Amino acid sequence: MKDSKQNLSHLIDQYLAGETTDQERNLLEQSYMKASARMSEKDISDIHAARIHEIGTKSWEDLMEKIEGEGTKSVNLWPRIFAFAASVVVVFLAIYFLNRNREVDVNDANAVAHDVNPGTVGATLTLANGKKIRLTGAASGKLAQEAGVTITKSSSGSLIYEIKDKTSSSGTKNTLSTANGETYQVRLPDGSMVYLNAASSLTYATSLIENGRRVVTLHGEGYFEVHKDKKHPFIVKTEKQEVEVLGTHFNINSYDDESAVSTTLIQGSVKVRSGKIEQMLRPGEQSLNDGKTIKVSQVDVDSSIDWKNGDFNLDGVEFKIAMRKIARWYNVEVIYEEAISDNIRSGGWVSRKNSLSAVLKSIEASGQVHFRIKGKQIYITK
């Protein structure tokens, strides 16, 4: 395609120099017909249209001057008229291919202008009575009171639960949920902090206590800083397991589209239970539970809580796992136009504050894949 454009450009130069043959002029006419069939009105800007008119008018004036200069002599006007028409063809083709090249630049500019921004702080709180509160737009201050528990939104944007009546019932439950592209944090009644990643939810009794235990149910990913309370173990339930702690910091990734639930311990100790299988974790260890077995290994804990610290750790991460993380945060769909190897490792740390294109460029620098953003979709090729 590039060679054909260069050949046509050379042919136009020959025409302007008066060096084209009949066959070459026919080629120009055919190119004109193809270009005009593809070209819509929007392809020609006002500036281009004015330029065509300007050149066309000048060509016509030149032609008329030559005709008038012949006086009353018998003159065959058709060769000159054909020359004028051919000049219009040349101008049209020049503008067409200029515009085609210009489209690439415009599309690149549009790609930046229509880039996907990173996710933001936001969530929805569903109360026991079914009422939903969008925390993104809610003002700071008291949001609700249920079963002796006051729920407020702090000036920093986090959700805070405070028990005002210790005799309150534990039957009422709340759910804090984030959509794709959202993250939020909540301080539970016992003082424990939970940070929710995108596309996640946390369900809990407003008093937190159930049968003498502090119990929450997690879908998606959350980071926990559990307040010590030996009398009331803290239990995190997911679809495949339970994690029991007394007081510690840990991360659980339980997204449905991941092959295993990962639990990473930063400090303290936790017990991971799945059916009859139990595993104790020490700081720096991670368990992977695929529903059949629980495997424990030493890991770089910073990599597991990259999202909580505002980053993507893509160093040594399987490509498709990395793309799922990116898709959740930027609320986009990933479309693989070609078969991509699972063995591709994208590298480096990238801030989650960056635009989507900036993150993808850092991965594309490896030369193993190429990305194209269209709306809320990412197309991937080799």
Judged against a pLDDT cut of 70, whether residue 71 lies above it is answered with: no
Can you tell me the distance from the alpha carbon of 119 to that of 183, in angstroms, rounded to the nearest whole number?
Answer: 8
Q: What is the pLDDT of residue 8?
A: 56
Judged against a pLDDT cut of 80, whether residue 112 lies above it is answered with: no
Q: In Å, how far are 302, 315, 360 from 306, measured between CA atoms?
A: 6, 11, 17
Query: Do the beta carbons of residue 201 and residue 176 sit within 8 Å?
Result: yes
Interval 365-376: pLDDT, tens:
878 889 999 999
Interval 179-219: pLDDT, tens:
999 999 999 999 999 999 999 999 999 999 999 999 999 99
Taking the model in full, what pTM does it have? 0.69
Interval 139-179: pLDDT, tens:
889 999 887 789 999 988 899 999 876 655 557 899 999 99
Q: What is the pLDDT of residue 146?
A: 82
Can you tell me the distance from the alpha carbon of 91 to that of 147, in angstroms, rounded to the nearest whole number?
Answer: 79
**298-322: average pLDDT:** 92
Can you tell me the distance from the alpha carbon of 109 to that of 104, in angstroms, rounded to the nearest whole number?
Answer: 9
Q: In Å, how far are 16, 39, 59, 98 from 8, measured between CA atoms?
A: 12, 17, 21, 12
Q: Which of 6-20, 225-239, 252-266, 312-326 has the lowest mean pLDDT?
A: 6-20
Q: Which of 6-15, 77-86, 349-358 has the lowest mean pLDDT?
A: 77-86
State which amino acid sits at residue 275.
Answer: G
Residues of the chain with CATH 3.55.50.30: 310-381
Can you tell me the distance from the alpha carbon of 252 to that of 249, in angstroms, rounded to the nearest whole number?
Answer: 10
* Range list of H helices, the chain: 2-16, 22-38, 46-69, 78-113, 301-304, 319-330, 356-364
Residues whose CB is less than 8 angstroms from the CB of residue 291 and which lie 6 or more positions away in sequence, other chains included? 240, 260, 274
Residue with tokens 């017990």: 271
Model confidence band, residue 343 (pLDDT cutoffs 50, 70, 90): confident
Query: Do the beta carbons of residue 160 and residue 180 sit within 8 Å?
Result: no
Q: Which CATH class is domain 310-381?
A: alpha beta
Closest among 147, 143, 146, 148 to 125, alpha carbons compared: 143
Can you tell me the distance from the alpha carbon of 47 to that of 270, in angstroms, rounded to the nearest whole number?
Answer: 69
- The residues facing 120 across adjacent strands are 182
Can you tell me the distance from the alpha carbon of 111 to that of 103, in angstroms, rounded to the nearest whole number?
Answer: 12
Judged against a pLDDT cut of 50, whether residue 244 lies above it is answered with: yes
Q: Which of 84-88, 117-121, 293-297 has the lowest mean pLDDT?
A: 84-88
Long-range contacts of 213-219 (CB under 8 A, 24+ apart): 214/188, 214/190, 216/188, 218/252, 218/254, 219/254, 219/256
Judged against a pLDDT cut of 80, whether residue 37 lies above it is answered with: no
- Torsion angles phi and psi, residue 203, rounded to 5: -115, 140
Query: How many other CB atoms sit within 10 Å of the CB of residue 349?
Result: 14
Residues of the chain with CATH 2.60.120.1440: 120-304
Query: What percent of the chain has pLDDT above 70?
Result: 69
**275-300: average pLDDT:** 95
Q: Which of 33-42, 197-206, 258-267, 334-343 has the lowest mean pLDDT?
A: 33-42
Interval 346-359: pLDDT, tens:
778 899 999 999 99
Q: What is the pLDDT of residue 89?
A: 55
Query: Do the beta carbons of residue 244 and residue 212 sit within 8 Å?
Result: no
CATH of 120-304, one of 3.40.50.300, 3.40.50.970, 1.10.3860.10, 2.60.120.1440: 2.60.120.1440
Q: Transcribe 232-296 into DSSP letters.
A: S-EEEE-SS-EEEESS-EEEEEE-TTSSSEEEEEEES-EEEEETTEEEEE-TTEEEEE-SS-EEE
State which amino acid sits at residue 381.
Answer: T
Residue with tokens 């991360």: 251
CA end-to-end span of the chain, whole Å? 21
Q: What is the pLDDT of residue 34?
A: 47
**295-309: average pLDDT:** 95
- Torsion angles phi and psi, residue 91, rounded to 5: -60, -45
* Selection from 73-82, 90-99, 131-140, 268-277 with the highest mean pLDDT: 268-277
Q: What is the pLDDT of residue 337?
A: 85
Judged against a pLDDT cut of 50, whether residue 228 lies above it is answered with: yes
